[in-house]
């Protein structure tokens, strides 16, 4: 039998006892059966969780666990593994008696018997609650930071060659490439051609020396769309202090960069085209561009720090308006207007400008900017325009008042100068028209005088003609009466011839009376013929007068037509002249129509007088024949017995001749009646012509009144 070294066993037992005591002091110890029931627990464990041993002994291990965790597959798998004799270890969240959270670093150690079969479990635990909570807090914070970075930033990981090893979703979203296209590809896959190669050399030179690079990079998406990023690329250093990989964090600043470019373009355009100056809220100059300095004739150092009053007119800086102007700007109220300002030389300059307060994020005015353009020339032109318009208005007022002696200022080469020249041309034309109208009116007055004189002469002649015609008519009645008596006597002549033998002495007496009567008839017929010839001569004179009147009317109509044309050229100013000219023209037409009617009547009178002359000549011839026959009858009376038959035949011839004479006298009487009617019509036409001449005289007076308004 083998001899046992008791001393050695005691030493080993003592060592084990010492180790257990050390574990009890430093760890929380819990002994469990294989099914998880609690066999015992040391003071550290019970104190940590706030239980007494009797409260936990015999209970299942799960009383310390979150019910959710107990029902999890992980918990069930752990106990299945322990029951198979496999140890387990890890961090676990426990709950103390009050339900508080306790984190333990746990190891489940399976204790075996001599046959190597699992018999129980010893759990060793160490309280890591403080560290775990701090670590969880750090992990939660890291996760939040990571989520923020992934939400706001484009993140990529790259190896030492710059090939992409990992990316976040933001990178995929912005670049429009999918993950498979990006992983393993160089970062140049998104490089925009606008970015110079020197920029990327600078990037590699910076991160290759273990430094962080930051800069604005212009990239290009898969569809060719450019986008801008604010890139930060940092190397991850190894234990040797050299980079082993790179992480790039980029912020999409496309919108801001485009806006910056736009603003830069706007500012460049403003700086190129406008005068620009900045002031602090109190009005002191901060800076000014070259356009402003050149416009005002200053150097930059002459204006920086100076107050705005340097540019305003003397005395204005003390006004309430100026004080209120800067008070408004300090209160954030801008001003836009045309402002008079003063150059260094003292000359006035006009600026169309905007004073705009610039505010910070709190709405406080930090400075005032002014953008302006020089409108001095426009203001001067506008001032000249207003003065010219006022001058032209006064000019037109005087012309409208009748003063054509004015002359408008037509100097310069602008539109107003053209208007001035046109006004002068208008006045010159109006002056010429007025003179022509005045001359035409004088001619019209003279013509009207001639017409009135002629009409008066016509009226007198017509009256004389009417009287003469009346006398002729009376004479013709007497002649007709005598002819009727002669006819009766001629008819009785045959009867007398039968009684001649018995009454020879009485027949001789009758013959003597017949001779005397025939002489009277001859004289009266000759008087009628002379009267008709005188009437024909007067009619001829009247025709000549009417020709003069017709010519005057034709001249008046032409003058009126010329006046209408000149009035039309004068526009509104010639409307009054046009009305007068129309009236003159109408009167001229009426006068011409009247004279034409008179001429027609005179022609009828001439034809009637011609017929009367022929009739009187025929009557005179018949009278001569009668005288011859009567004389022959006287001779035959001496030989009455021999020529009685011839006397009877002669008496028949006398009857026939006297009948023809009566017919001729009737024709002359009819013609004279027609002459009498024509003469009456001529007198009426002459009266109308006289009235028309009077109307023309009144028109001439009105025309003279209109023309007299203008002073030339």
- Top mean-pLDDT range of 305-309, 450-454, 528-532: 305-309
Claim to verify: residue 232 and residue 149 sit in the same structural domain: yes
- Lowest mean pLDDT across 391-395, 629-633, 690-694: 629-633
475-486 average pLDDT score: 66
Residue 395: pLDDT over 70:
yes
What confidence tier does 333 reach under pLDDT thresholds 50, 70, 90?
very high
What pLDDT sits at residue 353?
92
Claim to verify: residue 123 and residue 150 sit in the same structural domain: no
Main-chain dihedrals φ then ψ at residue 581, nearest 5 degrees: -60, -35
Residue 104: pLDDT over 80:
yes
Residue 648: pLDDT over 70:
no
Claim to verify: residue 245 and residue 336 sit in the same structural domain: no
What confidence tier does 433 reach under pLDDT thresholds 50, 70, 90?
confident
Percent of the chain with pLDDT strictly greater than 90: 37
8-state DSSP, 190? G
Specify if 652 maps to a domain.
Answer: yes
- Lowest mean pLDDT across 53-67, 419-433, 492-506: 492-506
- Lowest mean pLDDT across 15-19, 33-37, 42-46, 190-194: 15-19
Question: In the Cβ-directed half-sphere of 709, how many Cα atoms lie within 13 Å?
Answer: 15
With residue 373 as reference, give the H or E element that holds it.
strand 365-374
504, 510, 511, 512: CA torsion to nearest 10: 110
Specify if 562 maps to a domain.
Answer: no
Q: Which of 345, 374, 403 is the last residue of a domain?
A: 374
145-158 average pLDDT score: 87
What confidence tier does 367 reach under pLDDT thresholds 50, 70, 90?
very high
Largest Cα span, the chain: 252
What pLDDT sits at residue 22?
76
| Position with higher pLDDT, 630 vs 392 | 392
Residue 473: pLDDT over 90:
no
- Top mean-pLDDT range of 202-206, 461-465, 697-701: 202-206
What pLDDT sits at residue 640?
52
| Position with higher pLDDT, 3 vs 407 | 407
Q: Which of 252, 210, 247 is nearest to 232 (CA)?
A: 247
Specify if 573 maps to a domain.
Answer: no
What confidence tier does 46 reach under pLDDT thresholds 50, 70, 90?
very high
Average pLDDT taken over every residue of the chain: 79
What pLDDT sits at residue 1?
46
Question: In the Cβ-directed half-sphere of 151, how many Cα atoms lie within 13 Å?
Answer: 6
Q: Which of 259, 288, 322 is the last residue of a domain?
A: 259
Specify if 140 maps to a domain.
Answer: no
Claim to verify: residue 226 and residue 361 sit in the same structural domain: no
- Lowest mean pLDDT across 78-92, 286-300, 441-455, 621-635: 621-635
Claim to verify: residue 309 and residue 369 sit in the same structural domain: yes
Residue 64: pLDDT over 60:
yes
Question: In the Cβ-directed half-sphere of 459, how many Cα atoms lie within 13 Å?
Answer: 13
Using alpha carbons, list the distances in angstroms from residue 230 to 155, 249, 256, 302, 566.
12, 8, 11, 40, 83
What confidence tier does 342 reach under pLDDT thresholds 50, 70, 90?
very high
Claim to verify: residue 233 and residue 323 sit in the same structural domain: no
DSSP string, 53-122: HHHHTTSBGGGGS-HHHHTSHHHHHHHHHHHTT--EEEEEEEE-TTS-EEEEEEEEEEEE-TTS-EEEEE
Tell me, what CATH number does 27's domain have?
3.30.450.20
216-220 average pLDDT score: 93
| Position with higher pLDDT, 659 vs 642 | 659
| Position with higher pLDDT, 12 vs 49 | 49
What pLDDT sits at residue 534?
65
- Lowest mean pLDDT across 224-228, 229-233, 238-242, 324-328: 238-242
| Position with higher pLDDT, 372 vs 654 | 372
What pLDDT sits at residue 424?
77
By residue count, the chain amounts to: 712
What confidence tier does 207 reach under pLDDT thresholds 50, 70, 90?
very high
Residue 637: pLDDT over 70:
no
Claim to verify: residue 489 and residue 636 sit in the same structural domain: yes
Claim to verify: residue 637 and residue 520 sit in the same structural domain: yes
Claim to verify: residue 369 and residue 300 sit in the same structural domain: yes
Residue 2: pLDDT over 50:
no
Number of domains making up the chain = 4
Tell me, what CATH number does 542's domain have?
1.20.120
Specify if 699 maps to a domain.
Answer: no
What pLDDT sits at residue 94?
92
8-state DSSP, 312? S
Claim to verify: residue 188 and residue 162 sit in the same structural domain: yes
- Top mean-pLDDT range of 92-101, 407-416, 555-564: 92-101
- For 594, the token pair is 């009247």
What confidence tier does 439 reach under pLDDT thresholds 50, 70, 90?
confident
Percent of the chain with pLDDT strictly greater than 70: 61
356-383 average pLDDT score: 90
Specify if 539 maps to a domain.
Answer: yes
Residue 303: pLDDT over 80:
yes
Q: Which of 336, 359, 374 is the last residue of a domain?
A: 374
Write the pLDDT tens digit of every residue in 154-171: 999 999 999 999 999 999
What confidence tier does 212 reach under pLDDT thresholds 50, 70, 90?
very high
What pLDDT sits at residue 615?
60
Claim to verify: residue 29 and residue 94 sit in the same structural domain: yes
Q: Which of 693, 704, 709 is nearest to 438 (CA)?
A: 704
Main-chain dihedrals φ then ψ at residue 217, nearest 5 degrees: -120, 135
With residue 275 as reference, give the H or E element that holds it.
strand 275-279
Residue 500: pLDDT over 70:
no
What confidence tier does 431 reach under pLDDT thresholds 50, 70, 90?
confident
For residue 652, what are the domain limits?
450-547+593-692
Residue 605: pLDDT over 70:
no
Specify if 705 maps to a domain.
Answer: no
What pLDDT sits at residue 145?
83
Residue 639: pLDDT over 80:
no
Spatial neighbors of 9 by CB under 8 A, at least 6 apart, are: none
Specify if 436 maps to a domain.
Answer: no
Main-chain dihedrals φ then ψ at residue 202, nearest 5 degrees: -65, -40
What pLDDT sits at residue 345?
93
Claim to verify: residue 343 and residue 474 sit in the same structural domain: no
């Amino acid at each position: 039998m083998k001899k046992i070294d008791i001393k050695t066993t005691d030493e080993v037992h003592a060592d084990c006892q010492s180790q257990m005591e050390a574990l009890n002091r430093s760890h929380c110890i819990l002994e469990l059966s294989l099914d998880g029931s609690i066999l015992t627990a040391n003071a550290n464990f019970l104190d940590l969780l706030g239980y007494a041993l009797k409260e936990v002994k015999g209970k299942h291990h799960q009383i310390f666990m979150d019910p959710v965790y107990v029902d999890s597959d992980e918990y069930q798998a752990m106990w299945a593994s322990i029951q198979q004799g496999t140890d387990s270890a890890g961090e676990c969240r426990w709950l103390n008696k009050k339900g508080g959270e306790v984190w333990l670093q746990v190891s489940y150690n399976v204790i075996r018997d001599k046959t190597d079969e699992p018999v129980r479990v010893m759990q060793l635990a160490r309280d890591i609650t403080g560290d775990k909570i701090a670590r969880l807090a750090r992990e939660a914070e890291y996760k939040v930071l990571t989520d923020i970075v992934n939400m706001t930033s484009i993140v990529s990981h790259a190896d030492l060659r710059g090939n992409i090893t990992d990316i976040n979703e933001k990178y995929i979203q912005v670049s429009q490439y999918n993950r498979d296209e990006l992983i393993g590809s160089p970062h140049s896959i998104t490089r925009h051609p606008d970015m110079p190669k020197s920029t990327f050399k600078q990037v590699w030179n910076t991160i290759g020396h273990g430094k962080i690079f930051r800069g604005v990079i212009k990239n290009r998406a898969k569809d060719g769309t450019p986008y801008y990023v604010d890139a930060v690329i940092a190397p991850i250093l190894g234990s040797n202090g050299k980079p082993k990989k790179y992480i790039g964090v980029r912020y999409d600043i496309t919108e801001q960069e485009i806006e910056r470019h736009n603003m830069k373009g706007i500012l460049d355009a403003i700086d190129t085209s406008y005068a620009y100056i900045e002031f602090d809220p109190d009005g002191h100059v901060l800076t000014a561009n070259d356009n402003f300095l050149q416009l005002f004739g200053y150097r930059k150092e002459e204006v920086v720090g100076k107050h705005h009053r340097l540019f305003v007119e003397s005395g204005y800086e003390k006004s309430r308006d100026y004080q209120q102007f800067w008070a408004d700007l300090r209160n954030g109220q801008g001003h836009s207007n045309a402002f008079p300002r003063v150059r260094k030389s003292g000359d006035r300059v006009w600026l169309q400008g905007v004073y705009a307060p610039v505010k910070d994020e709190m709405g406080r005015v930090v400075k005032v900017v002014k953008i302006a353009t020089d409108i001095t020339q426009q203001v001067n032109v506008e001032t000249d325009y207003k003065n010219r318009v006022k001058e032209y208005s006064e000019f037109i007022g005087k012309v409208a008042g009748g003063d054509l002696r004015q002359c408008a200022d037509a100097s310069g080469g602008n539109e107003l100068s053209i208007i001035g020249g046109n006004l002068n041309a208008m006045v010159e034309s109006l002056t010429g028209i007025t003179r022509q109208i005045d001359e035409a009116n004088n001619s019209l007055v003279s013509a009207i005088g001639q017409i009135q004189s002629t009409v008066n002469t016509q009226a007198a002649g017509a009256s004389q003609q009417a009287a003469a015609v009346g006398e002729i008519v009376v004479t013709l009645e007497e002649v007709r009466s005598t002819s009727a008596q002669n006819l009766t006597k001629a008819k009785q002549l045959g009867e007398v011839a039968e009684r001649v033998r018995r009454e020879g002495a009485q027949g001789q007496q009758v013959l003597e009376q017949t001779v005397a009567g025939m002489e009277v008839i001859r004289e009266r017929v000759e008087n009628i013929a002379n009267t008709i010839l005188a009437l024909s001569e007067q009619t001829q004179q009247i025709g000549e007068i009417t020709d003069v009147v017709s010519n005057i009317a034709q001249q008046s109509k032409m003058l009126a037509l010329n006046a209408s044309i000149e009035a039309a050229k004068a526009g509104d100013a010639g409307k009054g002249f046009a009305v007068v000219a129309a009236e003159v023209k109408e009167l001229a037409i009426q006068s011409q129509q009247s004279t034409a009617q008179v001429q027609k009547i005179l022609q009828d009178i001439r034809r009637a007088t011609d017929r009367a002359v022929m009739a009187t000549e025929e009557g005179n011839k018949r009278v001569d024949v009668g005288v011859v026959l009567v004389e022959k009858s006287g001779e035959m009376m001496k030989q009455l017995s021999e020529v009685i038959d011839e006397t009877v035949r002669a008496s028949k011839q006398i009857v026939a001749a006297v009948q023809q004479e009566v017919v001729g006298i009737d024709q002359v009487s009819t013609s004279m009646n027609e002459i009498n009617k024509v003469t009456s019509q001529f007198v009426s036409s002459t009266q109308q012509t006289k009235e028309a001449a009077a109307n023309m005289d009144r028109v001439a007076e009105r025309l003279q009144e209109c023309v007299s308004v203008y002073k030339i």
